[in-house]
Structure 1
Amino acid sequence: MSDVAIKQQDASRRELDRLAELAQDVIGRARAAGASQAEVSASIDTGLNVNVRLGEVETVEHTRDRGFGLTVYFGKRKGSASTADLNADSIQATLDQACAIARYTEEDPASGLADASRMATVFPDLDLWHPWAIDTAGAIALGQQIEAAGRSHAGISNSEGASVQMGQSVSVYANSHGFVGRERGTRHSLSLSLIAGDEAGMQRDYWYDSARSADDFMSAKALGDIAAQRTLARVGARRLSTRQSAVMFSPDVARGLIGHLVGAVSGGSLYRRASFLLDHAGKQVMPAWLNIVERPFLPRGQGSGTFDAEGVATRDSALIENGVLARYVLGSYSARKLGLESTGNAGGIHNLIVEPGHADGGAPLDFDGMLQRLGTGLLVTEVMGQGVNTITGDYSRGAAGFWVEHGKIAYPVEEITIAANLRDMYTGIVAVGADVDRRSPLLTGSVLLDRMTIAGE
């Protein structure tokens, strides 16, 4: 380990210790002020963001953000306040405001900390801390390399720029159960957006990479090449006539499709009775061959963590098991509203994996295999608009992508709308590919649906 890396390690530990001491002190003061329970979240985030366009520097941004949030409970009355200033006067004012709010709010029987027995007690190293020793000059040079690689392709007419981002965060969550959870992690990203065109019009596309460690990035050339290839592939896009056909979502778009499932089975939607999957736990909602599992302990995982936003221990758990909805996605508040128990998902999911497979069994299919399985139909690589109703399950969104014939991409398409109901879309999944997109806490390959309505000309 280099001297710089050792210094960063030591500095992050000192900051975590300082945040933990501050959190425990404020919790003690809240209890002294009459609070029956209290919890604190404190964080320090640092980063560098450089944008380069046409070889020139557009923006350079250095960030150092601090956050401190306090929630107090006076019985079943709750008050919350926050500040971005960690000095003593600001912290005391935040505590006073939270206590004042709690004294005047209505009682809520579901409020309060998560159960003390559910607090995490084991904190394995998940390999999430990889500071990137890149300075401004290095980030500019890398952005220029990425953009140059993309612009070197014949047919690329312009660039919307390359971005290089470095970020690292240390945070503490503590509560009056005596729980103190420390986390530190890094997230870095590279991206490039390009423009190409012909007499029919201009087309834009992009590519990006995201990783905990910069060592895991694809090369600057590879990223530039992919961005250029994606952009050039869209030139000459056509509209389709209105029809019904099989539809395949590319991995990055399929991620959103699975995200709608998570939203529909999350506590807030359920206790408000605003979900088309209300009362569906234990029922078949997907094909019997399909499984979706949560894996919080993946090394370097984008969503890895040993505890959730309330300190509840995370665990490996099925969400969809043989097509059956095995459970909901709950924090302690929504669980109490529903008469259930927290699933350790306060703050979101932790590496949700859609396992590859297909209705016929056998080995999972790569991207080309998925196209062959699609045969003739629509490959969706972009969706637009907000036309998803989680109450009814109705799905209608603008889309772009490619028309596929006999398992091969025939031509690009745009200005179409795809529509169906999410219930039918989930039960109509024919295959999930092995081409998994690992740039997100929601990991899935391409998803092939048996049928959707395509509205075009």
Structure 2
Amino acid sequence: MLQTQEEISRLKTIVQSILDEAKNQGASAAEAGLSQESGLSVTARLGDVETIEHHRDQGLGVTVYFGQRKGSASSTDLSPESIRETVSAACSIARYTSEDEYSGLPEKEQLATEFPDLELSHPWDLRADEAIALAIECENAARGYHAEISNSEGASVNTHQGIRVMGNTLGFLQGYASTRHSLSCSVLAQRGDSMQRDYWYTVSRNAHNLESAVDVGRKAAERTLRRLQGRSLSTRQCPVMYAAEVASGLLGSFISAISGGNLYRKSSFLLDTLDTQVFPEFVRIHEQPRLKGALGSANYDGEGIATQTRDIVSNGILRGYVLGTYSARKLGMRSTGNAGGVHNLTIDPGEYDYLGMLKQLNTGLLVTELMGQGVNTVTGDYSRGAAGFWVENGEIQYPVEEITIAGNLRDMFKNIVAIGNDVDYRSNIRTGSILVERMSIAGQ
């Protein structure tokens, strides 16, 4: 930890030198960021090592302002000469760009001033041979699970650690270390003419919180086997339940629709919906940016503005947008501390676990995989390729493939019936399974 703090201090000194150089070259304001990252990635397939990658990267970015004219440049070279050249390039761009009345550094009073330890850094002292053994153990657990597991796309182990420092000429200068580790496995199964693939993964900032290699392999095999001999469906309308691992996509589409860029461009189906009913009354969606050890935790956003615990939706009503400084100014509002995205977006779970959600679905479609990018943020029209399972009387009957599910997000959000407590914590969006009352299915 002492070495980490020393490195953060060293990088802070470099960032400050970048800001000083920008002022020396005539900039009225500037902001700069610097990152250093390293890691190990190992993939094993069919019991043998396929790839071993050690990676180490660094980079800096600087944005300067001449009044309200803006220029940016970046480099991977941290030498004093390179810093001068990078700042000079940004200044040259700024001198020739048009003025933009909304550009500039964030409001000083919004900058973060408190920096509690969020426990984001847990380095994993993992040697290459240990990572190889872990990947092979994971894949072997999957391949040996059942005779119908016929092939493998491999198992991968990844460990990453990095330091990020940012500062601006308003006096903000902060940095932090973080880690991210993962283990994944993907296998194929065959039964007669039916062949399927599926996968499972585990991810955490702390390697001690990862699922075991055997569990990851076993789940990958189980998920693959249950998809064999899938059927299509006739075209119909029915209830649709999004499994927790894909339900985050629905919330991602919602966040995109209330993000500043789409709002000020008037390219969102949720334009002018602040303080109106968007979801059923039981829905609460909120940010929890300071959860210790969580994947989306941060004390400040990409501009240095303090993150905040807040309700974005409560009682089904949209309470706030997702804004950085520029989009906020365009909309005549204030930044919500979301330059770079949301932080541990959470939809409050309901009373039902996974099996209870299937009972609530009763008869309908359980979606476990989505394909394609058929989401129109302007209109809300939604159409995605899907795979999953047909459910009757709360029990899975058979796997389903080669179908398309469709609807309009505005209606889908309002017609959410239940949210499960089977929460998936493996991303920045934390949600259980989500049951939508009715959607269209296009099949045979």
TM-score (norm 1): 0.96
Shift of 1:153: 1.4
Return the letter of the residue paired with 2:47: G
3-state DSSP class of the match of 1:60?
strand
Match of 1:57 in 2: 49
The separation in 2 between residues aligned to 1:33 and 1:94, in whole angstroms, is 11
2:395 maps to which residue? 408
**Moved beyond 6 Å, runs of 4+:** none
**Matches of 1:70 and 1:18 in 2, distance apart?**
17
Q: Secondary structure at the match of 1:258?
A: helix
Matched, 1:157 2:139: no
Distance in 2 (alpha carbons) for counterparts of 1:213 and 1:147: 22
In the other structure, the counterpart of 1:375 is 362
1:436 maps to 2:417: no
- What is residue 5 of structure 1 aligned with on the other side? none
The alpha carbon displacement at 1:87 in A equals 1.6
Structure 2 residue aligned with 1:238: 231
User: Aligned pair 1:211/2:198, yes or no?
Assistant: no
Q: What is the correspondence of 1:347-386 to structure 2 with a 5 Å cutoff? A: 347-357=340-350, 364-386=351-373
Distance in 2 of aligned mates of 1:122 and 1:417? 48
Q: Is 1:314 equivalent to 2:307 in the alignment?
A: yes
CA displacement, residues 98-144 of structure 1 (integer Å, 9 cap, x when unaligned): 00000000000110011001110100011111000111000000000
Equivalents in 2 of 1:305, 1:247: separation in Å?
34
Q: 2:87 and 2:421 mapped to 1: Cα distance?
A: 50
- The residue type equivalent to 1:219 in the other structure is S
Partner residue in 2 for 1:261: 254
Looking at structure 2, the residues matched to 434 and 104 of structure 1 have their Cα atoms a distance apart, in angstroms, of 54
Q: CA deviation at 1:26?
A: 1.2
What is the Cα deviation at residue 13 of structure 1?
A: 1.6
Q: 1:30 — aligned with what? A: 22
Match of 1:387? 374
Cα deviation, residue 157, structure 1: 0.5
Normalised by the size of structure 2, how large is the TM-score? 0.99
Paired residue secondary structure (1:79)? strand
Alignment match, 2:281: 288
Residue 298 of structure 1, CA deviation: 0.5
Partner letter of residue 26 of structure 2? Answer: G
Q: Does 1:120 align with 2:107?
A: no
Q: Give per-residue Cα distances to partners, 1:372-423, cap 9 Å, x unaligned.
A: 1000000000000111000000000100000011101100000000000000
Shift in Å, 1:321:
0.8
In the TM superposition, what are the counterparts of 1:59-74 in structure 2 within 5 Å? 59-74=51-66
Offset of residue 192 of structure 1: 0.2
Residue 222 (structure 1) aligned to one of 215, 224, 229: 215
CA distance in 2, matches of 1:69, 1:124: 26
1:10 partnered with 2:2:
yes
AA partner of residue 55 (structure 2): T
Residue number among 169, 181, 188 corresponding to 1:188 in the alignment:
181
Q: In structure 2, what is the Cα distance between the partners aligned to 1:239 and 1:334? A: 44
After superposition, where does 1:91-170 map in structure 2 within 5 Å?
91-154=83-146, 155-170=148-163
- In structure 2, the partner of 1:327 is 320
**Aligned equivalents of 2:422, 2:238: Cα separation in 1:** 22
Segments of structure 1 that go 5 or more residues without pairing to the other structure are 1-8, 358-363
Partner of 2:406: 419
How far apart are residue 201 of structure 1 and its match? 2.4
In 2, distance between residues paired with 1:379 and 1:332? 40
1:11 CA drift (Å): 2.6
SS of 2:58's partner is strand
Which amino acid in structure 2 is aligned with residue 401 of structure 1? G
What is the CA RMSD across the aligned residues, in angstroms?
0.7
Determine if contact 2:344/2:428 at 8 Å carries over to the other structure. yes
Deviation at 1:84, TM superposition (A): 1.3
Using the alignment, how far apart are the partners of 1:112 and 1:448 within structure 2?
43
What per-residue deviation string (whole Å, max 9, x for no partner) do you get for residues 307-360 of structure 1? Answer: 000000011000111100100000000000100000000011110100012xxx
Provide the C-alpha distance between the structure 2 equivalents of 1:241 and 1:124, rounded to a whole number of angstroms. 55
Please list every run of 5 or more consecutive structure 2 residues that lacks an aligned counterpart in the other structure: none
**Per-residue CA shift, 1:176-201, capped at 9, x if unaligned?**
00101212110001000000012232
SS of structure 2 residue aligned to 1:303:
coil
Query: Is the 2:21–2:84 Cα contact (8 Å) retained in structure 1?
Result: no
Counting aligned pairs with the same residue, the percent is 55
2:85 & 2:186 partners in 1: Cα distance? 45
In structure 2, the partner of 1:448 is 435
Size of the aligned set, in residue pairs, is: 443
